Structure 1
């Protein structure tokens, strides 16, 4: 298990430079880690057994039947969901073949590992775009001021360079901020589209899947209306055709056990709750972003809450800066040592007031 998931530890490493917020990191770190881990789990046959085992009383080789049914999908009979288990049918959705029966085919289990990995890639796209746009600017602006232990001469020199950059590029960061807001919107749209994608992937059963599962306080495998059994059946049917000894086409009905669905149902019930949680907090983050755009005072309060700087100086700086400049200053507050950031704001305030970095 350590070898299987050991490669994912890189997602847990903290970044040396912060260029976004915690909600953004839930998308490209936590969610990507979850989806890639689930994709690896589905492919781990050595821990969860073969994905399919088919039963037939005919002389068809078991391995051949398993391979055929895995490739050509299995199915459930819709009318069999309403029959009593153990009396009329052996399992929900499994019954004898009748003319004009309505079948529900299950082909998703072949693609679960690929779909999960593809979803992980989609969650990383906004992060990739933001990194390309940001271009390592924030990492270059830190100038070693993220460490509290540093000689006074070095700190004063680096602060002066950073103050000069902020002053010379005043009102030049609005486009950078707009791109960041666009990537935040992409995060929200991605979650919604992914939920729609999973709903179609599971035959329209994902949207209400979590609510249906929550309606069952105690689950029993024989309960025919259990949503997990209906979406991820453990036992299905498969029809195999071949030529008989006389040259006629013979039909062989087989029942197939799908142990992989025990894992799939747990994965998707967790993803249901996770995606709804992610959509809600991302929407709240967008509301917060809108407030910071239209209510300037919120920008000051947001930055002031995480630093020790002089409130009057910070308030004056925020009032004189446009939103793009505030965005850069807010990112600096997340990366710089609090004392260094306090001195930076004081120096920048004096520079904007025309007093110079030393207050002269």
Structure 2
């Protein structure tokens, strides 16, 4: 069975250069792997079994009936799920459906995953490998002093030449995080629509079912993913009349589906919660320069407070975010020297610029 998942191994590769947050990586890496794995499991018949097996009559070929019922969907009766199996009904949701069209609950299935990778694809295109190119192996810390000095000079020149050009670059990343939240919430509403309004409260109903009295409770997993359903097949008889054949279908795949979707419900809730917290954190960073100072000092303890203050007070959010990503991927002491030199240059030149303006105004 391991050979089936061999094609997913390229999704598990983790780059040593990090240009995003751990929560963002959960969307495009962990979630995509989970969804693709589940899709492979439910579509690999030799490990799960046939998706449907219908009880058929001799004059209808088995493959024909199974294929028809799988394609055109099967159904159960909503009013019969609370009746006692083996007494009032043979199985929850199964019984006489004559004249009960409005009571029918149809069952269909689908798979998806690509939408979770879309924000990552956008950020990868916008970031363009800039961080990887600029760290120039300064993350390993084994360069010679002359080589380090030359690379730091190149980095300082780049930072100074692009001092006011990283704001939109940072906001693009924040937009991608917002898109991740929109996607996971949209996926939940999409599945809720697909499951006739049952998915949004699916996890809560499963928890409530576990605590409910055994005589009164109805298993929500069987209601959404029944093991047995009904199927109606029509064919012409020998005299040309339309004949109706009522079939009982067993859905062994639903034993797997119910576990998959209850896991996905909790996973999507967790992703939504973590991503919401991340976006609140981003809003605080945008509107609170003092928080940027605190976080930078907390993450890079070797850098003196005065240098961090200069970076935050005399540059913009984009420069702060760009330096944050550089520091995440660079050797600590090399990054400390880089920030120290850069902040000193910013302080010197920006302060000189303000003094020149004040002098000009005074002379006027």
Same structural fold, with TM-score higher than 0.5 when normalized by the shorter chain: yes
1:293 aligns with 2:286: yes
Counterpart mapping for 1:178-327 below 5 A = 178-217=171-210, 225-307=218-300, 308-327=302-321
1: CA distance, partners of 2:240 / 2:217: 41
Structure 2 residue matching 1:252: 3-state secondary structure:
strand
2: CA distance, partners of 1:302 / 1:8: 36
**Can you list the C-alpha shifts for 1:236-283, whole angstroms capped at 9, x where unaligned?**
000111122222211111100011111111111011001111111111
Farther off after superposition, 212-221 or 288-297? 212-221
1:25 aligns with 2:25: yes
For the 8 Å contact 1:55–1:254, the answer to whether it is kept is yes
1:346 aligns with 2:346: no
For the 8 Å contact 1:93–1:236, the answer to whether it is kept is yes
Partner of 2:45: 45
TM-align CA RMSD: 2.0
1: CA distance, partners of 2:216 / 2:332: 59
Partner of 1:158: 151
Partner of 2:65: 65
Q: 1:124 to 1:20 in 2, by over 3 A?
A: same
Farther off after superposition, 56-65 or 253-262? 56-65
Partner of 1:334: 328
For the 8 Å contact 1:75–1:103, the answer to whether it is kept is no
**Can you list the C-alpha shifts for 1:160-191, whole angstroms capped at 9, x where unaligned?**
11011111211221111121121121111111
2: CA distance, partners of 1:197 / 1:171: 41
Structure 1 residue matching 2:210: 3-state secondary structure:
coil
2: CA distance, partners of 1:222 / 1:50: 33
For the 8 Å contact 1:81–1:93, the answer to whether it is kept is yes
2: CA distance, partners of 1:243 / 1:294: 72
Partner of 1:122: 115
1: CA distance, partners of 2:98 / 2:304: 80
Structure 2 residue matching 1:102: 3-state secondary structure:
helix
**Can you list the C-alpha shifts for 1:112-149, whole angstroms capped at 9, x where unaligned?**
23xx2xxx211111111111111111111111111121
Structure 2 residue matching 1:106: 3-state secondary structure:
strand
Partner of 1:9: 9
1: CA distance, partners of 2:81 / 2:211: 19
For the 8 Å contact 1:91–1:222, the answer to whether it is kept is no
**Can you list the C-alpha shifts for 1:280-337, whole angstroms capped at 9, x where unaligned?**
1111111000000111011122222222222322232222210011010011111101
* Structure 1 position 77, deviation (Å): 1.5
* Structure 1 position 58, deviation (Å): 4.4
1: CA distance, partners of 2:215 / 2:86: 8
Instruction: Name the count of aligned residue pairs.
Output: 348
Structure 2 residue matching 1:217: 3-state secondary structure:
helix
